[in-house]
Amino acid sequence: MISETEALIVKKERLARLAVEQGNDNMATLALYEKSLQENQLKLYIEQLKAIQQQAESLKEKLQEFKGTYNKLLHKRILLSGRANVARSIKQMQ
């Protein structure tokens, strides 16, 4: 969407110049107005892209945090399971 909007901005600017060269001030004004709208839309798209990139980065960090927590809990589970097996073995020996 960003590249499409950039292309529209270039197109509207070209249209405005052509209209000025042909003496069509109304068409030039309209083209510049539309260019301005597209520039505002482009700014919005860029801001949204940055926000989405920040959210994605935050989610990646959270995922790494959850993976670390999962691995710690898995290690703890294995350790406790081993202790339980040792305790059962000792109890059976008595």
pLDDT in tens, 8-30: 999 999 999 999 999 999 999 99
pLDDT in tens, 33-88: 999 999 999 999 999 999 999 999 999 999 999 999 999 999 999 999 999 999 88
The domain total for the chain is 1
d(CA 41, CA 80): 58
CA angle, residues 24, 28, 30, in degrees to nearest 5 = 120
* Domain boundaries, position 52: 2-93
Q: How many Cβ atoms sit within 10 Å of the Cβ of residue 24?
A: 14
